[in-house]
Amino acid sequence: MNTAVAVVAALLSAMSFGLASVIQQQAASEAPARESLRLRLVLDLARRPKWLTGMALVISSYILLGLALAFGPLVLVQPLAATDLLFALPLLAWRRRTPLTRQEMAGIACTAGGVAMFLTVLPSAPGGTTIPAVRDWLPVLLAISSAAVLLTETGRRSRPTTRTALYATSAALMFALLDSLTKSTAGRFRADGLGALSHWEPYSVVLVGMIGLILSQSSYQAGSLAISLPLIDTLEPMGAVLIGVAVFGEQLASSTWALAVQALGAATAVAGIVLLDRSPLGRS
C-alpha cells in the first residue's frame, strides 16, 4: 500500500512540475536581466498571472512529492518525479492541436523505458521511517552549499549560454537537497505530528526551497529552457538518489548485473529527458 501511494503521488507530482516549468520559463524570460539572482526577480514575477499559475502548479507538485516521500524512499520516488515532461508534452500537444514528432515520441519511450528498467531491479524498501541525525547531514549540506556558491559566482561572469547552464546546475543541486530534506521533514511529521515543528528540518525546507526557486527562475531568465530544464531534470533526481544512499542508507541494486541494468536504465532515461526538454512545445 505504501509503495502504491508513493508511485501515484510521484507521477502526479511530475505532471504538475512539468507544466509549471514551461509556464514559468515563458514568464521569467520576460523579466529584466538586472533582477537575476535577486529576490526582486521573484517579487516581480509574482505580479504576472502566468507565473502565478505556474507557481500554483509548483506548490501542488511539491505537496504531492512530500506525500510520495512520506511513503517511499528517494531511490524510488525521484526517478518517477523526473518524468515531468513525459506528461506535460502530450498535454501541450493536445491543447495546441499539434501532433507529437518522432523525436518527442522517442523521448517519451526512452524516458518511460529507462525509468522502468531502473526501478525493476530496485530492492524492496525496508519498513519504518528513517530520520537522519544532524551529523549525517553536515557533509552533504557543506558540499552542496559550496558547489552552489561556486557555480553561481562563476555564472555571473559567464556568457548567457554558460550562465544558464551553471545557474540550472546550481538549482538542480538545491532541489536535490530540498527533496531529501522534504523526506526527512515528512518522516518527522509522521513520527511526531506537530512536534516536528520543534526540529530544524521544516525550516530548512523553506530556506532551501526559496534559494532553489531564485536559482531556477534565474536560469529560466538567462536563456533557453532547452539548456536549463534538461540539467535540472537529470541532475536533481541523480543528486537526490545519491543523498538517499549516503544519508538515509537506502540501497540501489545489490548485484553486478542488476547495477548494470540500473545504469543502462538511468542512461536511457537521461537521453529521453534531454529529447523531451528540447521539444519546441515547451518553448513556444
Mean model confidence pLDDT for the chain? 84
Average pLDDT of the residues in 11-37? 71
- For the cut 80, the answer to whether the pLDDT of residue 282 exceeds it is no
Q: pLDDT confidence of 146, banded at 50, 70, 90?
A: very high
Q: pLDDT confidence of 277, banded at 50, 70, 90?
A: confident
In this prediction, residue 167 carries a pLDDT of 94
In this prediction, residue 270 carries a pLDDT of 87
Q: pLDDT confidence of 252, banded at 50, 70, 90?
A: confident
Give yes or no for a contact between 25 and 225, defined as CB atoms under 8 angstroms apart.
Answer: yes
In this prediction, residue 126 carries a pLDDT of 61
In this prediction, residue 194 carries a pLDDT of 87
- For the cut 80, the answer to whether the pLDDT of residue 166 exceeds it is yes
How far does CA 260 lie from the centroid of its chain?
24
Which residue would you say has higher pLDDT here, 53 or 109? Answer: 109
Which residue would you say has higher pLDDT here, 26 or 209? Answer: 209
Q: pLDDT confidence of 37, banded at 50, 70, 90?
A: low
- For the cut 70, the answer to whether the pLDDT of residue 189 exceeds it is yes
- For the cut 70, the answer to whether the pLDDT of residue 36 exceeds it is no
